Amino acid sequence: MRSRPTRVVDRSGRRGLGWAAIASCALSLGSPMVASAQGPLMQRSTVLENVRLISSDGRVIEGANVVIRGSDIAGVGTQAAPSGPMTRSTNLGGRFVTPGLIDPNGAIALTGGNADPDARARAADAFDHYDRLTVTDAWRNGVTGVFIPARGGIGVQGVGAVVRLVPREIGGFGEFVSDEAALCIDLGSRAGAIARAEAYAKIVADFRSAEAYREANEIYKEELEEYEKKVAERAKKDEAAGSGSGSGSGSGAAGRRPGGAQASGNGSGGDGENKEDELKKPARPDPNKGYDVLLRAIDRDMPVRIVAHRSADILNAIRLSEQFGLDLIVVGATDADLVADRLAEAKARVILDPVIGPGSARSPRRVHRMRDVASALTAAGVPWSVGTGAGSSEASRALLVAAAEVTDGSADAFTLATRRASEAVGQRQRLGTLRPGVPADLVVWSGHPLEPGSFVERVYMNGRVVFTSPRSELEGGR
Amino acid sequence: MRRGRGNWSRLAAKAAGVLCVAGTMTAGSIAGAAERATAIVAGRVLQPDGSWRAEAGVVRLDASGRISAVADASERDPDGAHVYRDGFLTPGLIELASRIGLGGGASEQTSPDQMDLRAIDAFDPHDRDAAAAVRAGVTAAMIIPEPRAPLAGRAGVVRTAPSSDGSADVLRADSAALFSVAPAAMNPLFGPTSRAGAMAMVRGSIERANAGQGDAFVRSSLRDGVRCVIFGQSADDVFTALGPFERAGITPTVALREEALEFAFALEDEIRTMGLRLIAGPFGLSDRAEVLAGPGAVASFGGVVGLAGTTSADDPDALRRGAAMAVRYGLDAAAARRAMTSDAARIAGVEDRVGSIERGRAGDMVVWTHDPLRPDARVIAVYIDGVRVYHAAQDASRPGARIDGWDDRPGRRR
């Protein structure tokens, strides 16, 4: 749906200039958006003047301005931009400005090999903050945000993270928008039938154990409550008995020790030994952080990304999600077209990863098939997006190409790599969008991002220039 | 096995009397009814220089399917015209150093002199890769035997769709003599075992031909302008191999891939003085930036660049993707379009027949949704000799194949 430019008042601007905002370039909803975000009054502003924007329906909007205040976008519009002593303007000469592209599944800057599968593992802990080459390559290709999966053999692999490729004040790159963004599971996409079946059985057993662990903890809590109650009652009783007999307070204090061990000879009667048995403190189940992670997934506190390609594996993923009530995202999904209706029924989402190349382990046929898969998913009403899945240098380069080759007409490649991708990583409000109030992660392209020969000239992260292409003829920068 | 299937398909095609490749019985069938157009009207037409004609154009075709005129579109479309108001019309793409349709196998290593080895003998026009190539807009290919000997064999140029009687549509049977000094051309059993040995054979062959002796086909490369293509694994291989050709006054084409392309810029003098031509690629997404910059460097010296691809049913858009990547790393967009059309035809030696939308050329053309260098471009229709052999609007073969909203009625987009 096409949204219309809307005139609203810039409440945070020093002069309160009226601003016409372009909703469509930023929002998937197609509804009018606010033009500006509230911000500190005296913050420095940068206005990127004379830019072209791409709306959510693929239209090109000419002659627009983007206002950056501090580290955030303050406004996007086609009318007069704020000016003043604290405002700096940069004329971009009709170049395209887009939100930074988001790779919803790209294993970049993850150093070291695969670990053993472990639910406690966090991709955030494996992210190399000082991998300058990879980060620069991502910027060069317009990518500013990535979901990095946890990887480690077959089974429950750990927890993935969403990282913005922003320079850090303490050095290096990468701020986690979410360091626990999704539980990652691999059903053994490259393994044989038996290994895959065993992996699935093990995963089900893990989730069952997690549920049993929770039940044991609940029982423990109940028993502990009961126990504490009894201890309190006993103490009260003892106190009453103690004060009734007129004995000294010293023995009474000794009798209130937790643990139920009562001082003998306080005149409480001959059934003291039986009561001691009743008040035995329940044993706490051994803590298990891995099960805690699985339980968060069961509680839908975070989605579960399951790498599955074959239809049988996808059906297993659906079965798992239905059995334990998971928020399912199927990753890879080569055969998803065959089970699209089941995916729709299970309210699952899909992230395709069609990256190919001579150096890639993936079969080239997957890109070609992914277009069919995408069509089938759209027809069945299953939300889908495209990631690179790549663990190598081509990841960022491939994102827009993969999206363009796969797209089925329900969304253009650019939308797939921005809005759809940010939805897929659960950051629709913050990433992949040009709306006021979100971090100013912007990409300046020499031409339309999909036109041959156009390239990334400049990248802004948090409103500051972090990358300028040697081929760029742009001057200045912030 | 594949051979058998091809023959069966060919017989089936003949029996059914199909005009082209639209049958559903063939191994690699292509959707879309075969229809001959009198003219094609498109929103944009690719010029011979690789740029786009700004105004909508009309390409008229004669009864034999040749292009009879190219003009700006007029208010009234010609009768019988196929009209694509928003479409981009290009010549059919041509892939060089291709393996398309070589289902019969063309990897031979029985002698260091295999100049009699012909790629077209292994070509099956009913191969599924060939059918996929048509659907992807690749209408012709310079197919080669695997260069596994210093005198490696003969390239041929074929259309990727079979001719009307189901047989292979050969544009040029012996298009180029292939030479190789790459390690793949060496053999420990019957030699050569070194680059020097391979060079001795290449040099000997050229010098004998220059003296009017030796292999007749190689002699014809001097006399009749048959192309010579040199394969090398490194740029240094190519430097070494160029000598005998230069002395014989032959301008060869060099085929460079991977690391050799990284040093393509070092061929500047040869390109400028000899007019050296380049077959570059194939490229993948994982190739390094320095490799992808090779075609741009050669083109900037005035060299003619064509592209090798790996078009197959599994990866039908490989050629276009490679071109787009070369553009991203410095090749001019117009040069990239030429590299898949007119310049490819020149390198393959069929420029008088295909590769450009000009009067007298065959009506081998493709209609796209966008500039084919865009990764989201899709094929709308493919014409060979003016006959529409593929039409995406009628393609129900796969869920993602069909493109709705495009037909050929004047002025309408469904």
Do B340 and B364 have their domain in common?
no
Do B46 and B183 have their domain in common?
no
Do B201 and B262 have their domain in common?
yes
The residue ranges of chain A whose pLDDT is under 50 are 1-39, 246-273, 356-364, 478
CA distances from B206 to B111, B146, B250, B256 (A): 18, 21, 9, 21
Q: Which of residues 338-397 of B touch A (CB under 8 A)?
A: 370-371, 373-376
Report DSSP state, residue B113. Answer: B
Do B98 and B201 have their domain in common?
yes
Residue B45 lies in a domain: yes
Q: How many domains does chain B have?
A: 2
Distance CA A222, CA A203 (A): 29
The residue ranges of chain B whose pLDDT is under 50 are 1-28, 408-414
Residue B103 lies in a domain: yes
- Taking contacts as CB-CB distances below 8 angstroms, the residues of chain B near A399 are none
Q: Which of A393, A413, A455 lies at the smallest CB-CB distance from B375?
A: A413
Residue B224 lies in a domain: yes
Phi first, then psi: give them for residue A420, nearest 5 degrees: -60, -40
Do B51 and B116 have their domain in common?
no
- Domains, chain A, in order of start with CATH, read 1-100+432-478 (2.30.40.10), 102-209+289-431 (3.20.20.140)
Instruction: Inspect the interface and report whether the beta carbons of A397 and B321 lie closer than 8 Å.
Output: no
Do B118 and B138 have their domain in common?
yes
The sign one gets for the Cα dihedral B21, B26, B30, B32 is: positive
Contact of B335 with B48, CB cutoff 8 Å? no
Please tell me the pTM assigned to this model. Answer: 0.81
Residue B12 lies in a domain: no
Distance CA A314, CA A318 (A): 6
Which CATH number does the domain housing residue B292 bear?
Answer: 3.20.20.140
Q: Which of B286, B371, B375 lies at the smallest CB-CB distance from A358?
A: B286
With CA atoms as reference, the chain A residue closest to B282 would be A358
Q: Which of A397, A404, A408 lies at the smallest CB-CB distance from B285?
A: A397
pLDDT of residue A211: 96
Q: Which residues pair with A69 in a beta bridge?
A: A45, A72
Distance CA B318, CA A476 (A): 39
- Taking contacts as CB-CB distances below 8 angstroms, the residues of chain A near B400 are 371-376, 408
In 3D space, the residue among B104, B127, B119 whose CA is nearest the CA of residue B10 turns out to be B127
Instruction: Inspect the interface and report whether the beta carbons of B400 and A372 lie closer than 8 Å.
Output: yes
Instruction: Inspect the interface and report whether the beta carbons of A450 and B333 lie closer than 8 Å.
Output: no
Residue B161 lies in a domain: yes
In 3D space, the residue among A141, A360, A386 whose CA is nearest the CA of residue B289 turns out to be A141
Do B236 and B114 have their domain in common?
yes
Q: Find the angle CA(A375)-CA(A390)-CA(A119) to the nearest 5 degrees.
A: 100
Q: Find the angle CA(B308)-CA(B309)-CA(B314) to the nearest 5 degrees.
A: 170
Instruction: Inspect the interface and report whether the beta carbons of B333 and A453 lie closer than 8 Å.
Output: yes
- Taking contacts as CB-CB distances below 8 angstroms, the residues of chain A near B376 are 404-405, 407, 412-413, 450
Domain of residue B83 covers 31-92+358-394
Residue B11 lies in a domain: no
Q: Find the angle CA(A150)-CA(A153)-CA(A154) to the nearest 5 degrees.
A: 105
Do B187 and B319 have their domain in common?
yes
- ipTM of the shown complex: 0.76
Helix (H, G, I), strand (E, B) or coil at A49: strand
Do B71 and B120 have their domain in common?
no
Contact of B117 with B145, CB cutoff 8 Å? yes
pLDDT digits (tens, 9 = 90+) for A436-454: 999 999 999 999 998 888 8
Contact of B285 with A355, CB cutoff 8 Å? yes
Residue B402 lies in a domain: no
pLDDT of residue A239: 87
Do B85 and B100 have their domain in common?
no
pLDDT of residue B30: 57
Do B194 and B340 have their domain in common?
yes
Distance CA B130, CA B30 (A): 10
Query: How many helices, marked H, and strands, marked E, lie in chain A?
Result: 12, 18
Q: How close does chain A come to B290, measured CA to CA in Å?
A: 14
Which CATH number does the domain housing residue B73 bear?
Answer: 2.30.40.10
Residue B47 lies in a domain: yes
Burial class (CB in 10 A: 0-12, 13-18, 19+), B230: buried
Do B386 and B251 have their domain in common?
no
State the number of CA atoms in the 13 A half-sphere of B44 facing the CB: 14
Q: How close does chain A come to B125, measured CA to CA in Å?
A: 21
